[in-house]
Structure 1
């Protein structure tokens, strides 16, 4: 029986344009691919192992024609709208008191600061969760197993009592391997608000 639902944030609640953001980044930087060093720095930043200042310094050094403001705009380009009906779904789910609600997101300080400024109901959204884990705050990152172990241990949950919802296949594969029920959501064709129709076999 499902006792806890663990939600990703991006492409589950807030819409992302990952493909568009990659193209935009390549166009702005006049590159064809991210270097290994850039990929590594992005990962360190997402895990909270370097500060926003260090992150921006790295990019300013590599792209001296870019201001910090321009770099922040490029970094935040992927963040799109947060449909209100998903907040309403979460509100109703919280009111039912049937499940422990947990957010588990790979994110970073710049993205969260942008969301706080541009999503007027962010605080309400956050308060509907019983636990709210952002990778840069807990220094752990999906798809690594340790972040899932952390959530299970912190909330005293058995893996088979949890449903994990994420748009990333690698993250879902780790959760499945641990025995967590998983919904690899397709943001193009599926919506989290249809959870109980889409995954009715679990409830």
Structure 2
């Protein structure tokens, strides 16, 4: 089966392989896909998204996500991320996953930003550690209140072009 986390255009082949492996009918496979995307996408953190919407005109907001082929379409349909984040760097589109340093380098290039211009937020410690090793300020997300406070501290302390 193709690595759908680092390749784009392979979702159909990937799901067909799963269907064949478990002997799923077309209807069952469609339900499996639907269930997968429901679980994968989860529920948006509306409190955090609302806070970020308030920053839209003053800071650059980007996504660097380990993902699977099809994630962009599903997340856009559900959450409209492209209205808030630019760039959106999905692993299946850039060909590398976090915590590989190249994922961060690619995102920084897409953002036209230096490591010290960025606050990277993730819920996986290995990823925040990798970002910090590159000189990116990193925050491990454990709850919305603490993350918003980390953003506010970063903005108070920063004077960088990417934020303007």
Asked if these proteins are the same fold (TM beyond 0.5), I'd say: yes
Q: 2:32 aligns with which of 71, 78, 88?
A: 71
Q: 2:119, 2:151 within 8 Å by CA — same for their partners in 1?
A: no
Alignment match, 1:86: 48
Regions of 4+ moved over 3 Å = 109-119, 193-196, 198-202
Alignment of 1:1-203 (within 5 A): 44-48=3-7, 51-65=10-24, 67-78=28-39, 79-95=41-57, 97=58, 99-119=59-79, 122=80, 125-186=81-142, 190-191=143-144, 195-198=147-150, 200-202=152-154, 203=156
Q: 2:64, 2:88 within 8 Å by CA — same for their partners in 1?
A: yes
Alignment match, 1:15: none
Superposition deviation, residue 194 in structure 1: 5.3
Alpha-carbon distance in 2 for matches of 1:72, 1:143 = 26
- Matched positions, count: 152
Superposition deviation, residue 60 in structure 1: 1.6
Q: Looking at both structures, which has the greater relative contact order when contacts are Cα pairs under 8 Å and sequence separation is at least 6?
A: 1
SS in structure 1 at match of 2:121:
strand
TM-score, normalising length: structure 1: 0.64
The gaps in structure 1 that reach 5 residues or longer are 1-36
SS in structure 1 at match of 2:88:
strand
Superposition deviation, residue 94 in structure 1: 0.8
Superposition deviation, residue 57 in structure 1: 1.9
Q: 1:59, 1:71 within 8 Å by CA — same for their partners in 2?
A: no
Alpha-carbon distance in 2 for matches of 1:130, 1:117 = 16
Change (3 A) 1:153 1:113: closer
TM-score, normalising length: structure 2: 0.77
